[in-house]
């Protein structure tokens, strides 16, 4: 049997910035590429472009947790 996944997908990506990165809200364009397959065939690959937003703070600043309900430790 083939595994079937549906619903929400959470990707955890380590992100670092350059020392001279501008502070504040930054937008990062992302491209997600995936391909759906069954036991008989695979559909053509699909690429989706997304816009991620993150808040860049000074290195001495204390970071605060965001979306703890989504990113709880497992």
pLDDT digits (tens, 9 = 90+) for 16-71: 888 899 999 999 999 999 888 888 888 999 999 999 898 888 887 777 777 778 77
33 touches 46 (CB < 8 A): yes
pTM of the model: 0.55
Structure tokens at 16: 């670092």
The Cα 54–Cα 21 span in angstroms is 12
pLDDT-based confidence at 73, cuts 50/70/90? low
């Amino acid at each position: 049997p083939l595994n079937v996944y549906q619903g929400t997908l959470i990707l955890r990506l380590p992100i670092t910035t350059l020392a001279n990165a501008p502070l504040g809200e930054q937008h990062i364009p992302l491209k997600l590429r995936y391909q759906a397959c069954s036991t008989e065939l695979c559909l053509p690959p699909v690429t989706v472009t997304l816009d991620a937003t993150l808040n860049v703070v000074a290195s001495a600043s204390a970071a605060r947790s965001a979306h703890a309900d989504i990113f709880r430790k497992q």
